[in-house]
Structure 1
Amino acid sequence: MVENVEKQTPGAGRRVTAADIARAAGVSRATVGFVLNDTPGQTISEATRRRVLDEAERQGYRPHSAARALASGSSRIVLVVLPDWPMGFSMRTTLEAASLALQEQGRTLVSHTPPRHAAARPLWEVLDPEAVLGFVPFTDEQARSLRASGVRRVLPEPGEPLPGFLADLAEGPRLQVEHLVGRGHRRLAFAAPGEERVRSLAEQRARTAAEHAVRLGLEPPQVHTLRTENVADTVHTWHRSGITGVVAYNDDTAALAVGTALRAGLRVPEDLAVIGHDDSPIASLFVPSLSTVHLDGEALGRHLAGITLQALGGGPAPEPSSTTSLVARESS
């Protein structure tokens, strides 16, 4: 089946059809369909095939996604549902790698943050995606909407644990705590960001850091939210109370803590050691350079694509691999 398409010429008022291409190329509509759909088993000369393709390009042919989905029974769209978090460096890297890996298999990755307002429809009700992958568990309401929309594959299914590659991200706070303790720090703090949208993730990382600190015989790190207006007082409180190691939510938070400590006359890392998370570009560029947890965004993205394709019947499940590692730099 050849889809009708929108002509891309500015000001065009109708769709370009297979008949348009056939008339201009001097061939039948069926021939156009065979060429554009790359139908196997046809005896079409290379000269005719080239003439059809050149004419399609001249007229601005673009596949019509809705018609293609109707013909194939699949939109070949993979929808990734993201929490309402700021799009950080690691997330961008992961999504770019996943998108490229899925493109190689003829699929398109679309990212989506569910709307906050009831008047807006979630994107899975509009796109008819082949699969939907959630970075956090779906709510009951979302699960009902997914089922009602006829989505063929949901990862994770309601009630199932998150895919392994997402669970692996929880390793970061453990590496941060172990690094500081290994450097001799016994009193720790957790520096949370002031961004309200990442509160739940920051709280999760703080809990994980506390669990590992207790396992190592320490008191749980004190949790402090760093904002521009209070960071100087917070750093002073740390120094006065004997806190010498800081587990930061991310590299931006770590940079804020380190910069404030230096302006207050403290030595880093002698008086205050700080470790960030994500290994974003600022970590290596900051002075002093920031110790951090490196997330292999490209490996995460490829793994995301792999488990999605496996769930769709496209091959074996990818082998699990470690995606987090510690990078020790000047700040600790």
Structure 2
Amino acid sequence: MAGRANTGKRVTSFDVARAAGVSRSLVSAVINGTPGIGVSRETREKVLQAIRDLNYQVDAQARAMKTGLSRCVAAFGDMKNPLFLQVLEGMQKACAERGYHVLISGQSAVDEDRLAMLDLYRQRRIDGIVTLDETGYASGQWIASVRDAGAPYVSVEGYAGADDVASVLTDYRGSIKRALDHMGGTAERYPVYLEAYDDTPGRNWAERDRRAAYEEWCAARGLAPVVHTFQAYDEAWIDRFIDIPSTADGRLPPVLLNWSVSAVLFYRAAWRRGMRIGEELVLMAGDNTNRSNAFMSPPLASVEIPYARMGEEAVRLLLDPPDDGAERTGKRWLEAVIIPGDSVPVESGG
């Protein structure tokens, strides 16, 4: 298992070990995922950096014969879903750093459509599975099948209430509080919260956490929370909201939307009325699902839900053995970040 440096000299695992300041057996443990050998994240990163610096190439066929590993991870999701594409972006980055490939599988959330991945695992064609799930997903049938097969598994966004299932999640409660801090406000003028929904308001823990965060933020400042729910694509509802100002001075209050998909309709409604976004209508979104908020005119201030980083973290959780040798379970909670935009003026933003 060797490659060649730019000098033409054959690079071996001894060279990698010397560059990283570790033993050859530890390099082998990092490359092959050898069970029972604890490797800290810092040491693992040193070895991986040495591999990159030296352009060390692993003989995949020889390694597979020796270790029984395919060096391939299955990613399950719908390619038409922009969130899945972002998760794939992160998975690909993390897999490439570890000498792995990503196999894309399926497009349905139905459990039966997932079982083919377990067959691939039994055939040693994949070494583990990452799924992008709906926020409220927690199928007992699927996780029982995974455990029966003994397959390493991590859910992105699913199994939030199951501590014994490994999953990567976003701190939606914290994301809304950071958005509200960015918008700011006074007792006379502070944001209202608009909860868009597809079929049923507050149907999963993420949306409930978002609303609770708004209510907590208001309570901490002695403000009365103002929450409206509406179907995400109900343009008539948005027209009515804009045409009936609810502040004492007759102006529209600042608006925090949970979903950016509805922000487009607000922009359109404002344009029809000759209203200036960021002045007569201050607006911010609790996500940036389609990565298009910066291209709206004016740019829409928003929260960036870190789907690419969630994909990276899922691969780390799947492939990097815990330092203490514990089972791969538990949660990884990631913080969202604020993306400023002209839809929230500087003097209003935090």
Contact 2:86 2:308 survives alignment (8 Å) = yes
Q: SS of the residue aligned with 1:166?
A: strand
Correspondence 1:288 to 2:292: no
Contact 2:195 2:230 survives alignment (8 Å) = yes
Q: For residues 114 and 308 of structure 2, what CA distance do their matches in structure 1 show? A: 31
Contact 1:95 1:301 survives alignment (8 Å) = yes
2:194 to 175, 190, 210: 190
Contact 2:170 2:306 survives alignment (8 Å) = no
Letter in structure 1 aligned against 2:317: I
Alpha-carbon shift at residue 166 of structure 1 (Å):
1.9
Instruction: Flag structure 2 segments of 5+ consecutive residues without an equivalent.
Output: 1-59, 345-350
* Rg (Cα) greater in structure: 1
Alpha-carbon shift at residue 191 of structure 1 (Å):
4.1
Moved more, 144-153 or 222-231: 222-231
Correspondence 1:176 to 2:179: yes
Q: SS of the residue aligned with 1:230?
A: helix
Letter in structure 2 aligned against 1:244: P
Q: For residues 94 and 116 of structure 1, what CA distance do their matches in structure 2 show? A: 16
TM-score by length of 1: 0.61
Give the corresponding residue for 2:25.
none
Identical pairs, percent: 18
Correspondence 1:87 to 2:81: yes
Question: Judging changes above 3 Å, is the alpha-carbon distance between structure 1 residues 249 and 86 closer, same or farther for their aligned structure 2 residues?
Answer: farther
1:100 to 93, 96, 103: 93
Q: Which has the higher contact order (CA 8 A, sep 6+)?
A: 2
| Aligned positions of 1:7-18 closer than 5 A | none
Q: For residues 111 and 91 of structure 2, what CA distance do their matches in structure 1 show? A: 30
Alpha-carbon shift at residue 138 of structure 1 (Å):
3.6
TM-score by length of 2: 0.58
Correspondence 1:130 to 2:137: no
Give the corresponding residue for 2:69.
74
Question: Judging changes above 3 Å, is the alpha-carbon distance between structure 1 residues 299 and 118 closer, same or farther for their aligned structure 2 residues?
Answer: closer
Correspondence 1:310 to 2:316: no
| Aligned positions of 1:102-251 closer than 5 A | 102-112=95-105, 115=108, 120-128=113-121, 129-135=126-132, 138-154=138-154, 159-160=162-163, 166-168=169-171, 170-182=173-185, 185-194=189-198, 200=204, 202=207, 204-218=209-223, 219-236=225-242, 239-240=245-246, 244-251=253-260
Q: For residues 77 and 212 of structure 1, what CA distance do their matches in structure 2 show? A: 44
Q: For residues 336 and 267 of structure 2, what CA distance do their matches in structure 1 show? A: 23
Alpha-carbon shift at residue 104 of structure 1 (Å):
2.9
Question: Judging changes above 3 Å, is the alpha-carbon distance between structure 1 residues 308 and 179 closer, same or farther for their aligned structure 2 residues?
Answer: same
Q: For residues 109 and 208 of structure 1, what CA distance do their matches in structure 2 show? A: 36
For residues 39-61 of structure 1, the C-alpha deviation after alignment (integer angstroms, 9 at most, x for no partner) is xxxxxxxxxxxxxxxxxxxxxxx
Q: For residues 274 and 265 of structure 2, what CA distance do their matches in structure 1 show? A: 15
Give the corresponding residue for 1:329.
341
Alpha-carbon shift at residue 102 of structure 1 (Å):
0.6
RMSD: 4.3
